[in-house]
Amino acid sequence: MKCMAAAMIAPLLFCASLSASAQETSAGAQVRVEVSGNVRTPGQFDIPPGGRLADALVAARPAPDAYLPGAMLLKQQAKEQQFRLRAGLAHDLALLQRSADADVQQAAGVLTQWLDDHPATGRVRQSFDMRLIQVQPQSNPVLGTGDAIVVPSRPQAVRVMGAVLAECRVQHEPLRDAKDYLRDCPASAAADRNDIYVIQPDGYVQKLGVALWNRADPQPIAPGGTLYVPLAESSAGAVDEAFNSEFAAFIATQPITP
């Protein structure tokens, strides 16, 4: 890949490192990664051992309207931990479905169905800010065979889910406070009244207070983000005090809202 091709994505994007990679010994097996989504040349790419995220992006060439804040790096080695997290959540939800509270039963049933529909992905939180990758090698991870990159198009909505009357996809509004989206997607009787979780498109999770005594400062949510309304601690905490935070963490491993 010539340095001119690299410049199509970001100026001076590791031209020197790409040349160095090409000169490395051919003794090791090539690393095969897949790049899909809104890129000019999707598919599988063979990169030299020690090849990095930038190498794969240069080869695939994200389209001008690609939404890099929501791009996903999927690593095989991260799946095992997510399998365990998902199994633990399924166990907790099975217990919550036996609750004496009908609202908790219903909310747990909805979350169980969502969990059934969303497998472990292996997504790891990773910045795709090309300038950051240029200046911070630690932000440009080494890739392994079987790793994948998914680059979405820019979404238009925010998802509101969890202990709500019905899951919603609400039109994104710039600078709108995340808490305000509950006006369009009301919480159910099973919801916690003190906190919500915001999962940004890059996988960053924030817990925000919404009660009068702990109300957080206004916090926008980016397009493609998710607002998770947790189950009341009086019910979820009786099963696992970390249930809500762990469920929010699992949501962060999933593709963004279209």
93-108 pLDDT tens trace: 999 999 999 999 999 9
DSSP label at 11?
T
Residue 54 has pLDDT above 60, yes or no: yes
150-172 pLDDT tens trace: 999 999 999 999 999 999 999 99
3-state SS, the chain, equals CCHHHHHCCCCCCCHHHHHHHHHCCCCCCCEEEEEEECECCCEEEEECCCCEHHHHHHHHCECCCECHHHCEEECHHHHHHHHHHHHHHHHHHHHHCCCCCHHHHHHHHHHHHHHHCCCCCCEECCCCCHHHHHHCHHHCCECCCCCEEEECECCCEEEEEECECCCEEEECCCCCEHHHHHHCCCECCCECCCEEEEECCCCCEEEEECCCCCCCCCCECCCCCEEEECECHHHHHHHCCCHHHHHHHHHCCCCCCC
Residue 4 has pLDDT above 70, yes or no: no
pTM for the whole structure: 0.87
Q: What is the CA radius of gyration of the chain?
A: 21
Give me the chain's average pLDDT, please. Answer: 90
- pLDDT tier for residue 28 given thresholds of 50, 70 and 90: low
Residue 220 has pLDDT above 50, yes or no: yes
Give me the mean pLDDT over the 225-230 stretch: 98
Structure tokens at 199: 């999962």
Residues 31-253, CATH architecture: Roll (3.10)
